[in-house]
Chain A
Protein backbone atom coordinates (compact mmCIF):
# COMPACT_ATOMS: atom_id res chain seq x y z
CA UNK A 1 0.00 0.00 0.00
CA UNK A 2 1.10 3.49 -0.76
CA UNK A 3 1.67 5.87 2.09
CA UNK A 4 -1.28 8.21 2.63
CA UNK A 5 0.38 11.57 2.33
CA UNK A 6 -1.64 13.60 -0.13
CA UNK A 7 -4.84 15.54 0.02
CA UNK A 8 -6.66 17.74 -2.49
CA UNK A 9 -4.62 20.52 -4.00
CA UNK A 10 -1.96 20.41 -1.27
CA UNK A 11 1.62 19.54 -2.06
CA UNK A 12 2.40 16.62 0.22
CA UNK A 13 5.91 15.33 0.96
CA UNK A 14 7.04 13.71 -2.24
CA UNK A 15 9.47 11.11 -0.98
CA UNK A 16 7.99 8.77 1.57
CA UNK A 17 10.03 5.75 2.61
CA UNK A 18 11.21 3.99 -0.53
CA UNK A 19 8.34 5.49 -2.55
CA UNK A 20 8.10 8.71 -4.55
CA UNK A 21 4.79 10.48 -5.17
CA UNK A 22 4.48 10.93 -8.91
CA UNK A 23 0.82 11.70 -9.59
CA UNK A 24 -1.72 13.43 -7.37
CA UNK A 25 -5.21 12.09 -6.87
CA UNK A 26 -6.51 14.73 -9.25
CA UNK A 27 -4.03 13.82 -11.95
CA UNK A 28 -4.95 10.18 -11.66
CA UNK A 29 -8.65 11.03 -11.83
CA UNK A 30 -8.01 13.12 -14.96
CA UNK A 31 -5.98 10.36 -16.53
CA UNK A 32 -8.51 7.60 -15.99
CA UNK A 33 -11.61 9.61 -16.83
CA UNK A 34 -9.87 10.70 -20.03
CA UNK A 35 -8.69 7.16 -20.78
CA UNK A 36 -12.01 5.42 -20.16
CA UNK A 37 -14.05 8.01 -22.04
CA UNK A 38 -11.51 7.87 -24.88
CA UNK A 39 -12.17 4.18 -25.41
CA UNK A 40 -15.92 4.60 -25.09
CA UNK A 41 -15.70 7.42 -27.65
CA UNK A 42 -13.52 5.36 -29.95
CA UNK A 43 -15.83 2.34 -29.78
CA UNK A 44 -19.06 4.28 -30.29
CA UNK A 45 -17.45 6.52 -32.91
CA UNK A 46 -16.43 3.53 -34.98
CA UNK A 47 -20.11 2.65 -35.37
CA UNK A 48 -20.56 5.85 -37.33
CA UNK A 49 -17.13 5.64 -38.95
CA UNK A 50 -17.99 2.65 -41.07
CA UNK A 51 -20.80 0.18 -41.59
CA UNK A 52 -18.16 -2.50 -41.01
CA UNK A 53 -18.25 -1.71 -37.30
CA UNK A 54 -21.99 -1.13 -37.09
CA UNK A 55 -22.95 -4.70 -36.10
CA UNK A 56 -20.71 -4.35 -33.01
CA UNK A 57 -22.97 -1.54 -31.77
CA UNK A 58 -25.46 -4.24 -30.73
CA UNK A 59 -23.33 -4.44 -27.55
CA UNK A 60 -24.62 -1.04 -26.44
CA UNK A 61 -28.08 -1.44 -27.97
CA UNK A 62 -27.64 -0.29 -31.54
CA UNK A 63 -26.14 2.53 -33.52
CA UNK A 64 -28.52 5.20 -32.25
CA UNK A 65 -27.70 4.37 -28.64
CA UNK A 66 -24.01 4.44 -29.58
CA UNK A 67 -24.45 7.96 -31.00
CA UNK A 68 -25.99 9.12 -27.72
CA UNK A 69 -23.27 7.44 -25.65
CA UNK A 70 -20.67 9.15 -27.86
CA UNK A 71 -22.10 12.53 -26.93
CA UNK A 72 -22.43 11.75 -23.22
CA UNK A 73 -18.90 10.40 -22.90
CA UNK A 74 -17.64 13.41 -24.87
CA UNK A 75 -18.91 15.61 -22.04
CA UNK A 76 -16.96 13.57 -19.46
CA UNK A 77 -13.92 13.51 -21.74
CA UNK A 78 -13.77 17.30 -21.71
CA UNK A 79 -15.54 18.59 -18.63
CA UNK A 80 -14.04 16.43 -15.86
CA UNK A 81 -10.48 17.07 -17.00
CA UNK A 82 -11.27 20.72 -17.64
CA UNK A 83 -12.68 21.19 -14.16
CA UNK A 84 -9.64 19.63 -12.54
CA UNK A 85 -7.50 22.27 -14.21
CA UNK A 86 -9.46 25.09 -12.60
CA UNK A 87 -10.99 23.69 -9.47
CA UNK A 88 -9.95 20.52 -7.74
CA UNK A 89 -6.33 20.11 -8.65
CA UNK A 90 -4.94 23.09 -10.54
CA UNK A 91 -1.48 22.92 -8.95
CA UNK A 92 -0.52 19.57 -10.43
CA UNK A 93 -2.39 20.05 -13.70
CA UNK A 94 -0.77 23.33 -14.64
CA UNK A 95 2.64 22.02 -13.62
CA UNK A 96 2.19 19.12 -16.01
CA UNK A 97 1.40 21.61 -18.78
CA UNK A 98 4.51 23.62 -17.93
CA UNK A 99 6.68 20.53 -18.18
CA UNK A 100 5.03 19.45 -21.41
CA UNK A 101 5.52 22.73 -23.21
CA UNK A 102 9.14 22.93 -22.18
CA UNK A 103 10.77 20.65 -24.68
CA UNK A 104 14.53 20.64 -24.09
CA UNK A 105 17.66 19.37 -25.83
CA UNK A 106 17.79 16.55 -23.33
CA UNK A 107 14.27 15.57 -24.40
CA UNK A 108 15.39 15.47 -28.00
CA UNK A 109 18.25 13.17 -27.05
CA UNK A 110 15.83 10.93 -25.24
CA UNK A 111 13.52 10.74 -28.21
CA UNK A 112 16.29 9.88 -30.64
CA UNK A 113 17.64 7.15 -28.35
CA UNK A 114 14.21 5.81 -27.47
CA UNK A 115 13.44 3.53 -30.45
CA UNK A 116 16.20 1.26 -29.22
CA UNK A 117 14.59 1.07 -25.81
CA UNK A 118 11.14 0.58 -27.28
CA UNK A 119 12.35 -2.69 -28.78
CA UNK A 120 14.02 -3.82 -25.59
CA UNK A 121 17.52 -2.46 -26.07
CA UNK A 122 19.36 0.16 -24.07
CA UNK A 123 19.40 3.77 -25.23
CA UNK A 124 21.89 6.38 -24.06
CA UNK A 125 20.46 9.74 -23.05
CA UNK A 126 20.90 12.32 -20.29
CA UNK A 127 19.13 11.98 -16.94
CA UNK A 128 15.50 12.99 -17.45
CA UNK A 129 13.25 15.30 -15.45
CA UNK A 130 9.75 14.30 -14.34
CA UNK A 131 8.73 13.67 -17.92
CA UNK A 132 11.07 12.36 -20.55
CA UNK A 133 10.98 13.46 -24.20
CA UNK A 134 8.67 10.64 -25.24
CA UNK A 135 6.22 11.37 -22.44
CA UNK A 136 6.16 15.02 -23.45
CA UNK A 137 5.35 14.10 -27.02
CA UNK A 138 2.59 11.80 -25.83
CA UNK A 139 1.26 14.63 -23.67
CA UNK A 140 1.36 17.07 -26.58
CA UNK A 141 -0.51 14.63 -28.81
CA UNK A 142 -3.10 14.18 -26.08
CA UNK A 143 -3.51 17.92 -25.54
CA UNK A 144 -3.76 18.95 -29.18
CA UNK A 145 -5.67 15.82 -30.15
CA UNK A 146 -8.22 16.57 -27.44
CA UNK A 147 -8.56 20.19 -28.52
CA UNK A 148 -9.06 19.34 -32.19
CA UNK A 149 -11.33 16.35 -31.62
CA UNK A 150 -13.45 18.46 -29.28
CA UNK A 151 -13.75 21.50 -31.53
CA UNK A 152 -14.62 19.38 -34.55
CA UNK A 153 -16.93 17.18 -32.47
CA UNK A 154 -18.88 20.20 -31.24
CA UNK A 155 -19.33 21.36 -34.84
CA UNK A 156 -20.49 17.87 -35.87
CA UNK A 157 -22.84 17.62 -32.88
CA UNK A 158 -24.64 20.86 -33.73
CA UNK A 159 -24.05 20.67 -37.48
CA UNK A 160 -27.31 22.39 -38.51
CA UNK A 161 -26.23 25.48 -36.56
CA UNK A 162 -22.94 25.85 -38.43
CA UNK A 163 -22.35 26.65 -42.12
CA UNK A 164 -21.87 23.50 -44.24
CA UNK A 165 -18.47 24.76 -45.39
CA UNK A 166 -17.27 24.51 -41.75
CA UNK A 167 -19.01 21.22 -40.96
CA UNK A 168 -17.40 19.63 -44.03
CA UNK A 169 -13.96 20.36 -42.58
CA UNK A 170 -14.89 19.10 -39.14
CA UNK A 171 -15.11 15.51 -40.45
CA UNK A 172 -11.51 15.16 -41.64
CA UNK A 173 -10.26 17.05 -38.56
CA UNK A 174 -12.17 14.72 -36.22
CA UNK A 175 -10.86 11.64 -38.01
CA UNK A 176 -7.29 12.91 -38.19
CA UNK A 177 -7.23 13.65 -34.44
CA UNK A 178 -8.68 10.23 -33.72
CA UNK A 179 -6.08 8.47 -35.86
CA UNK A 180 -3.17 10.32 -34.28
CA UNK A 181 -4.45 9.80 -30.74
CA UNK A 182 -5.20 6.14 -31.35
CA UNK A 183 -1.74 5.47 -32.75
CA UNK A 184 -0.25 7.22 -29.70
CA UNK A 185 -2.49 5.28 -27.30
CA UNK A 186 -1.35 1.98 -28.76
CA UNK A 187 2.27 2.85 -28.01
CA UNK A 188 1.27 4.32 -24.64
CA UNK A 189 -0.49 1.12 -23.54
CA UNK A 190 2.45 -0.98 -24.64
CA UNK A 191 4.82 1.07 -22.52
CA UNK A 192 2.45 1.09 -19.56
CA UNK A 193 1.46 -2.56 -19.56
CA UNK A 194 3.75 -4.64 -21.75
CA UNK A 195 7.20 -3.08 -21.85
CA UNK A 196 9.36 -4.87 -19.26
CA UNK A 197 11.37 -1.77 -18.42
CA UNK A 198 8.71 0.89 -18.20
CA UNK A 199 5.60 -0.96 -17.07
CA UNK A 200 6.64 -0.65 -13.40
CA UNK A 201 5.66 3.01 -13.78
CA UNK A 202 2.03 1.88 -13.83
CA UNK A 203 1.79 2.10 -10.04
CA UNK A 204 2.24 5.87 -10.38
CA UNK A 205 -1.11 6.07 -12.15
CA UNK A 206 -2.77 3.63 -9.73
CA UNK A 207 -1.81 4.69 -6.22
CA UNK A 208 0.30 7.68 -7.17
CA UNK A 209 3.68 6.31 -6.12
CA UNK A 210 6.63 4.80 -7.93
CA UNK A 211 9.60 3.09 -6.34
CA UNK A 212 12.71 5.15 -5.57
CA UNK A 213 14.59 2.67 -7.71
CA UNK A 214 12.43 3.46 -10.74
CA UNK A 215 12.60 7.20 -10.10
CA UNK A 216 16.40 7.14 -9.94
CA UNK A 217 16.73 4.93 -13.03
CA UNK A 218 14.28 6.77 -15.28
CA UNK A 219 13.91 10.29 -13.94
CA UNK A 220 17.13 10.98 -12.05
CA UNK A 221 16.96 14.75 -12.52
CA UNK A 222 13.44 14.82 -11.11
CA UNK A 223 14.36 12.58 -8.17
CA UNK A 224 17.41 14.65 -7.25
CA UNK A 225 15.37 17.82 -7.34
CA UNK A 226 12.69 16.36 -5.04
CA UNK A 227 15.34 15.10 -2.66
CA UNK A 228 16.96 18.52 -2.41
CA UNK A 229 13.64 20.28 -1.98
CA UNK A 230 12.65 17.92 0.78
CA UNK A 231 16.00 18.32 2.58
CA UNK A 232 15.80 22.10 2.43
CA UNK A 233 12.33 22.22 3.96
Chain B
Protein backbone atom coordinates (compact mmCIF):
# COMPACT_ATOMS: atom_id res chain seq x y z
CA UNK B 1 0.00 0.00 0.00
CA UNK B 2 1.27 3.46 -0.86
CA UNK B 3 1.80 6.26 1.65
CA UNK B 4 -1.42 7.74 2.88
CA UNK B 5 -2.15 11.11 4.42
CA UNK B 6 -4.92 12.76 6.38
CA UNK B 7 -5.23 16.50 5.95
CA UNK B 8 -6.58 18.32 8.99
CA UNK B 9 -7.73 21.72 7.77
CA UNK B 10 -8.33 23.66 10.98
CA UNK B 11 -9.69 26.59 8.97
CA UNK B 12 -12.75 24.52 8.17
CA UNK B 13 -13.16 22.89 11.58
CA UNK B 14 -16.22 23.96 13.55
CA UNK B 15 -15.27 22.20 16.76
CA UNK B 16 -18.31 19.91 16.73
CA UNK B 17 -16.35 16.99 18.27
CA UNK B 18 -18.10 14.45 16.06
CA UNK B 19 -14.67 13.04 15.16
CA UNK B 20 -13.99 12.02 18.74
CA UNK B 21 -17.41 10.41 19.01
CA UNK B 22 -16.92 8.51 15.76
CA UNK B 23 -13.50 7.36 16.99
CA UNK B 24 -14.98 6.01 20.20
CA UNK B 25 -17.76 4.29 18.33
CA UNK B 26 -15.63 2.52 15.77
CA UNK B 27 -12.86 1.58 18.20
CA UNK B 28 -15.33 0.59 20.93
CA UNK B 29 -13.82 2.96 23.46
CA UNK B 30 -16.00 3.69 26.46
CA UNK B 31 -17.03 7.26 27.19
CA UNK B 32 -15.27 9.02 30.05
CA UNK B 33 -16.54 11.56 32.46
CA UNK B 34 -15.38 14.95 31.21
CA UNK B 35 -15.39 18.41 32.63
CA UNK B 36 -15.48 21.86 31.11
CA UNK B 37 -11.87 23.07 31.13
CA UNK B 38 -12.22 26.28 29.14
CA UNK B 39 -15.26 27.74 27.35
CA UNK B 40 -15.47 24.76 25.06
CA UNK B 41 -12.76 22.23 25.78
CA UNK B 42 -13.79 19.18 27.77
CA UNK B 43 -10.83 16.88 27.29
CA UNK B 44 -7.40 17.82 28.55
CA UNK B 45 -5.23 15.03 27.26
CA UNK B 46 -5.14 11.66 25.60
CA UNK B 47 -6.22 8.69 27.69
CA UNK B 48 -6.18 4.98 26.99
CA UNK B 49 -9.84 5.37 25.95
CA UNK B 50 -9.68 8.72 24.19
CA UNK B 51 -7.52 8.66 21.12
CA UNK B 52 -8.69 11.89 19.57
CA UNK B 53 -10.13 15.06 21.09
CA UNK B 54 -10.61 18.74 20.33
CA UNK B 55 -8.51 21.56 21.68
CA UNK B 56 -9.91 25.11 21.73
CA UNK B 57 -7.66 28.11 22.10
CA UNK B 58 -8.97 31.59 22.58
CA UNK B 59 -6.35 34.04 21.41
CA UNK B 60 -7.02 37.75 21.81
CA UNK B 61 -5.39 40.12 19.39
CA UNK B 62 -6.37 43.75 18.69
CA UNK B 63 -9.49 43.30 20.74
CA UNK B 64 -10.74 40.43 18.64
CA UNK B 65 -10.71 36.80 19.54
CA UNK B 66 -9.16 34.17 17.32
CA UNK B 67 -10.81 30.90 18.10
CA UNK B 68 -8.31 28.22 17.22
CA UNK B 69 -9.59 24.67 17.10
CA UNK B 70 -7.58 21.56 16.52
CA UNK B 71 -8.36 17.87 16.40
CA UNK B 72 -5.62 16.08 18.29
CA UNK B 73 -4.58 12.47 17.67
CA UNK B 74 -1.41 10.48 16.96
CA UNK B 75 0.43 12.04 14.01
CA UNK B 76 1.78 8.71 12.76
CA UNK B 77 5.33 10.03 12.23
CA UNK B 78 7.53 8.72 9.44
CA UNK B 79 10.36 8.63 11.99
CA UNK B 80 8.52 7.57 15.14
CA UNK B 81 10.30 7.96 18.49
CA UNK B 82 7.83 5.54 20.13
CA UNK B 83 8.83 2.77 17.74
CA UNK B 84 12.51 3.32 18.45
CA UNK B 85 11.89 3.38 22.21
CA UNK B 86 9.66 0.30 22.35
CA UNK B 87 11.19 -2.42 24.53
CA UNK B 88 9.20 -5.24 23.04
CA UNK B 89 9.13 -4.75 19.28
CA UNK B 90 5.42 -4.11 19.72
CA UNK B 91 5.32 -0.91 17.67
CA UNK B 92 5.57 -1.20 13.92
CA UNK B 93 5.06 0.99 10.92
CA UNK B 94 2.91 0.02 7.97
CA UNK B 95 3.83 0.74 4.39
CA UNK B 96 0.97 3.21 4.30
CA UNK B 97 2.74 5.18 7.05
CA UNK B 98 0.69 4.20 10.08
CA UNK B 99 2.37 3.53 13.42
CA UNK B 100 0.55 0.79 15.29
CA UNK B 101 0.94 -0.87 18.67
CA UNK B 102 0.57 -4.64 18.76
CA UNK B 103 -1.42 -5.17 21.95
CA UNK B 104 -0.26 -8.79 22.30
CA UNK B 105 3.41 -7.84 22.35
CA UNK B 106 3.09 -4.67 24.44
CA UNK B 107 4.17 -5.09 28.08
CA UNK B 108 3.22 -1.60 29.21
CA UNK B 109 6.77 -0.47 30.06
CA UNK B 110 5.88 3.10 29.11
CA UNK B 111 9.04 3.83 27.12
CA UNK B 112 6.88 5.05 24.19
CA UNK B 113 4.93 7.35 26.52
CA UNK B 114 8.09 9.05 27.74
CA UNK B 115 9.73 9.42 24.33
CA UNK B 116 6.84 10.62 22.15
CA UNK B 117 7.48 14.34 21.56
CA UNK B 118 3.72 14.91 21.40
CA UNK B 119 2.73 12.94 24.51
CA UNK B 120 0.38 10.70 22.56
CA UNK B 121 0.54 7.09 23.85
CA UNK B 122 -0.89 6.26 27.26
CA UNK B 123 -0.45 3.09 29.31
CA UNK B 124 -3.33 1.47 31.13
CA UNK B 125 -1.84 0.66 34.54
CA UNK B 126 -4.19 -2.29 35.10
CA UNK B 127 -4.07 -3.90 31.67
CA UNK B 128 -0.38 -2.93 31.25
CA UNK B 129 -0.91 -2.01 27.63
CA UNK B 130 -0.10 1.15 25.74
CA UNK B 131 -2.68 2.51 23.36
CA UNK B 132 -3.26 5.37 20.96
CA UNK B 133 -4.93 6.19 17.66
CA UNK B 134 -4.54 3.35 15.17
CA UNK B 135 -5.32 5.63 12.23
CA UNK B 136 -8.24 3.25 11.71
CA UNK B 137 -5.81 0.96 9.95
CA UNK B 138 -8.49 -1.74 9.98
CA UNK B 139 -10.80 0.51 7.96
CA UNK B 140 -8.16 2.01 5.71
CA UNK B 141 -6.83 -1.37 4.63
CA UNK B 142 -10.36 -2.31 3.64
CA UNK B 143 -10.85 0.78 1.52
CA UNK B 144 -12.93 2.64 4.08
CA UNK B 145 -12.20 6.12 5.35
CA UNK B 146 -10.88 6.54 8.89
CA UNK B 147 -13.88 6.93 11.22
CA UNK B 148 -13.07 10.56 12.03
CA UNK B 149 -12.69 11.50 8.36
CA UNK B 150 -15.89 9.70 7.43
CA UNK B 151 -17.89 11.61 10.00
CA UNK B 152 -16.46 15.13 9.57
CA UNK B 153 -19.31 17.39 8.39
CA UNK B 154 -17.54 20.67 7.50
CA UNK B 155 -14.97 18.81 5.41
CA UNK B 156 -12.05 19.67 7.64
CA UNK B 157 -10.61 16.17 7.25
CA UNK B 158 -9.47 14.64 3.99
CA UNK B 159 -7.87 11.26 3.41
CA UNK B 160 -5.93 10.00 0.41
CA UNK B 161 -2.59 9.34 -1.23
CA UNK B 162 0.18 11.32 0.42
CA UNK B 163 1.27 13.16 -2.71
CA UNK B 164 -2.23 14.13 -3.78
CA UNK B 165 -3.24 15.28 -0.29
CA UNK B 166 -0.05 17.27 0.17
CA UNK B 167 -0.69 19.13 -3.08
CA UNK B 168 -4.27 19.79 -2.01
CA UNK B 169 -3.03 21.11 1.36
CA UNK B 170 -0.58 23.50 -0.27
CA UNK B 171 -3.25 24.86 -2.55
CA UNK B 172 -5.56 25.36 0.39
CA UNK B 173 -2.82 27.08 2.38
CA UNK B 174 -2.31 29.69 -0.34
CA UNK B 175 -6.01 30.45 -0.18
CA UNK B 176 -6.21 30.62 3.59
CA UNK B 177 -3.13 32.80 3.90
CA UNK B 178 -5.02 35.60 2.16
CA UNK B 179 -7.18 36.01 5.24
CA UNK B 180 -4.87 34.41 7.84
CA UNK B 181 -1.30 35.54 7.10
CA UNK B 182 0.11 33.39 9.90
CA UNK B 183 -1.42 30.20 8.53
CA UNK B 184 1.04 27.38 7.93
CA UNK B 185 1.32 23.67 7.28
CA UNK B 186 2.53 21.48 10.13
CA UNK B 187 3.84 18.02 9.40
CA UNK B 188 5.38 18.03 5.96
CA UNK B 189 8.90 17.65 7.33
CA UNK B 190 8.43 17.25 11.11
CA UNK B 191 9.55 13.84 12.44
CA UNK B 192 10.38 12.75 8.91
CA UNK B 193 6.91 13.74 7.75
CA UNK B 194 3.64 13.27 9.58
CA UNK B 195 0.77 11.18 8.24
CA UNK B 196 -1.65 13.67 9.78
CA UNK B 197 -0.79 16.97 8.13
CA UNK B 198 -2.22 20.13 9.64
CA UNK B 199 -3.17 23.48 8.28
CA UNK B 200 -2.80 25.71 11.32
CA UNK B 201 -4.04 29.29 11.47
CA UNK B 202 -1.22 30.39 13.75
CA UNK B 203 2.20 29.14 14.84
CA UNK B 204 2.41 25.61 16.33
CA UNK B 205 3.32 26.98 19.77
CA UNK B 206 0.01 28.82 19.96
CA UNK B 207 -1.68 25.45 19.61
CA UNK B 208 0.60 23.92 22.23
CA UNK B 209 2.53 21.94 19.63
CA UNK B 210 6.34 21.73 19.59
CA UNK B 211 7.74 23.96 16.83
CA UNK B 212 10.56 21.52 16.09
CA UNK B 213 9.62 18.06 17.32
CA UNK B 214 12.55 15.65 17.17
CA UNK B 215 13.50 12.13 18.16
CA UNK B 216 15.00 12.80 21.62
CA UNK B 217 18.81 12.92 21.64
CA UNK B 218 18.79 10.68 24.72
CA UNK B 219 16.88 8.05 22.76
CA UNK B 220 19.42 8.06 19.91
CA UNK B 221 22.28 7.88 22.40
CA UNK B 222 20.59 5.07 24.28
CA UNK B 223 19.73 2.84 21.35
CA UNK B 224 22.48 3.69 18.86
CA UNK B 225 25.47 4.33 21.12
CA UNK B 226 25.13 3.00 24.68
CA UNK B 227 23.66 -0.34 23.65
CA UNK B 228 26.02 -1.31 20.82
CA UNK B 229 29.12 -0.01 22.63
CA UNK B 230 28.01 -1.60 25.91
CA UNK B 231 27.37 -4.94 24.25
CA UNK B 232 30.84 -4.91 22.75
CA UNK B 233 32.33 -4.08 26.19
CA UNK B 234 30.51 -6.96 27.88
CA UNK B 235 31.42 -9.28 25.01
CA UNK B 236 35.03 -8.14 25.28
CA UNK B 237 35.11 -8.89 29.01
CA UNK B 238 33.70 -12.36 28.39
CA UNK B 239 36.23 -13.00 25.63
CA UNK B 240 39.09 -11.87 27.89
CA UNK B 241 37.94 -14.31 30.57
CA UNK B 242 37.75 -17.24 28.14
CA UNK B 243 41.20 -16.29 26.88
CA UNK B 244 42.42 -16.03 30.48
CA UNK B 245 41.25 -19.55 31.32
CA UNK B 246 42.95 -20.98 28.23
CA UNK B 247 46.14 -19.01 28.87
CA UNK B 248 46.29 -20.38 32.39
CA UNK B 249 45.62 -23.91 31.19
CA UNK B 250 48.28 -23.57 28.56
CA UNK B 251 50.81 -22.28 31.09
CA UNK B 252 49.92 -25.19 33.38
CA UNK B 253 48.93 -22.85 36.20
CA UNK B 254 46.04 -25.05 37.31
CA UNK B 255 48.24 -28.14 37.80
CA UNK B 256 50.40 -26.62 40.52
CA UNK B 257 47.25 -26.19 42.54
CA UNK B 258 47.72 -22.44 42.39
CA UNK B 259 50.90 -20.61 43.21
CA UNK B 260 49.25 -18.77 46.12
Contact = CB atoms under 8 A, between A and B. Distances in A.
A154 interface: no
Contact of A179 (B88, B89, B230, B248): B230
A201 to B, nearest CB: 10
B213 interface: no
Interface in B95-142: 105, 107, 109-111, 113-115, 119, 128
Interface of B: 85, 87-90, 105, 107, 109-111, 113-115, 119, 128, 216, 218-219, 221-222, 225-227, 229-231, 233-234, 236-238, 240-241, 243-245, 247-248, 250-251, 253-254, 256, 258-260
Contacts of A167: 114
Contact of A172 (B90, B226, B251): B226
Contact of B233 (A179, A197, A211): A179
A171 B107 contact: no
Interface in A195-232: 195-197, 199-200, 211, 213-214, 217
B252 to A, nearest CB: 9
B227 to A, nearest CB: 6
Nearest to A181: B234
A67 B110 CA distance: 12
Interface residues of A, number: 42
Contacts of A51: 87-90, 105
A54 B88 contact: yes
Report whether over half of chain B's contact residues are helix, strand or loop; otherwise say mixed.
helix
Interface string A102-122: 000000000000000011110
A194 interface: yes
A233 interface: no
Contacts of B216: 168
B114 A187 contact: no
21 contacts: A119-B248, A120-B250, A159-B110, A167-B114, A171-B111, A171-B114, A171-B218, A172-B226, A176-B230, A182-B234, A183-B233, A186-B234, A186-B241, A189-B241, A194-B244, A195-B244, A195-B248, A196-B248, A196-B256, A197-B253, A214-B260
A119 B243 contact: yes
